[in-house]
Amino acid sequence: MFPVLGREPTSGIAGELTATQLADAARRAGRRLPQGSRVVISGTGETARLVHFLGADLAGCAALLTDPEWPDAAAVLADARPDAFIDVTAPPGPDLGTELPVGDESTWFYLPTTSGSTGRPKVLARSRRSWLRSFEALGVDLDERDQVLIPGPLSSSLFLFGALHALRGGAELRLLGRWSAPAAAEAARWSTVVHLVPAQLSALLTVLERDPALRAECGLRLVVCGGAKVEPALELRLAEALPGCRLVEYYGSAEHSLIAVRHGGALRPVVDVEVVDGRLRVRSELSFDGYLEGGELVRPGTDRTGDRAIQHPDGSLEILGREGAVIDTGGRLVAAEPVEAVLREIDGVLDVVVTATAHPRFGSLVTAVVEGDARLPRLRAEARERLHPSERPRRWLTVEALPRTASGKPARALIAERLRTGEPLCPR
């Protein structure tokens, strides 16, 4: 992302490419692309995908990184309507002699998709400016002494954001490509910073808590966490397992980038926000330019985020959860995310999704799908003690691993659909 960075990279990819090799490879990739086109980048190998993404940016192209977990890939591609397809495992195409770099801060460089955790992914259009300002809003300084661990696929904007932020700061990258808590714990021996979501942080800490030797060798000084709220119990576990390791939490969305950041204390807005009737509205230069539908840009029609929130007198934000994550059971409305927050504090619960399943009398039952090794009697007893009767799950399911999106978030829509159809939650 060299035009965005504004300078040559000073870092490479650990064990794979030096800074010079990364820059040269990106230039070669960029010269093979039609200037200002839309490109789809597919194939395996996160380093190769990153090289071609950076090359596309040099050529002023807007790149879409494929995700094998898309529920409807054909619809995503129909909305993006790309001009070119790049398979990073295939032989390179001819050198077109494209003059580099191309464009300015208003140029589209990225076509992210919404996570798909609540439905079919939408294709968004992103300008370079929106991410440049987001890097600044995060308020995290890096240098060449840092090695930043990116423990998930770059098709997730959360992990791509972490990778590009590292390059901009001059840090070295360590790319895992896919999430694995044991692999992340091993890589953390040589890493100083990691980007992840709360469920992944919990799983990483579980590995470190069970292996004192590995925990003693962990090099992390900073955890950057997005995608969901970091509960107090999880923050306490981090402080106990890795004393001195700082936590930076951010709240945002695919459409709006960063909205609020927490460097200790409360969550503070980094853009203009307003809470109207309990619903959060955002006005921000970090926001996307619009959705692509059938290849055409559709401007966003609202500044609503879809989240319920409270803004306190000191300006800080408290995010209460998605408007749609509400279960109508027996005439009562139950917000799913606060129930999940309580259940995550139970020993043995790695993560949980609370959703609705149909019931002929009550309309819906509050249903908990639990990842971890917590026993059902313990779950029921803790729920009776901690939750209002209407909030207590009436149906419990346990799984080895929740279905997840590329960013590591639970795939809520997929889980709800499988519960509806009776399909196995985790097909082998």
Residue that finishes a domain, picked among 157, 178, 199 = 178
Q: 134-159, pLDDT tens digit by residue? A: 999 999 999 899 999 999 999 999 99
Count of domains in the chain?
3
- Distance CA(30)–CA(59), nearest Å, equals 5
| 157-169 vs 128-138: helix crossing angle, rounded to 10 | 70
- In this predicted structure, what is the pLDDT of residue 247? 98
- In this predicted structure, what is the pLDDT of residue 323? 65
The CATH number that applies at residue 281 is 2.30.38
- In this predicted structure, what is the pLDDT of residue 8? 57
Strands 304-311 and 279-283: antiparallel
| Range with the poorest average pLDDT among 260-264, 352-356, 408-412 | 408-412
The percentage of the chain sitting over the pLDDT mark of 70, rounded to a whole number, equals 94
Q: Which domain holds residue 301?
A: 255-322
At residue 190's C-alpha, the angle toward residues 189 and 193, to 5°, is 95
Q: 189-242, pLDDT tens digit by residue? A: 999 999 999 889 988 999 999 999 999 999 999 999 998 888 888 999 999 999
Assess if residue 96 is contained within a domain: yes
- Distance CA(339)–CA(337), nearest Å, equals 5
The CATH number that applies at residue 413 is 3.30.300.30
- Residue 62: strand pairing partners: 38
Contacts of 380 (CB under 8 A, 6+ apart): 396
Residue 118 has pLDDT above 60, yes or no: no
Residue that finishes a domain, picked among 297, 322, 347 = 322
Quickly count: other Cβ atoms within 10 Å of residue 389's Cβ: 8
Residue that finishes a domain, picked among 269, 293, 322 = 322
| Range with the poorest average pLDDT among 43-52, 119-128, 176-185, 406-415 | 406-415
- Alpha-helical regions (H) of 88-230: 128-138, 157-169, 181-187, 198-210, 212-217
**Which pTM does this prediction carry?**
0.84
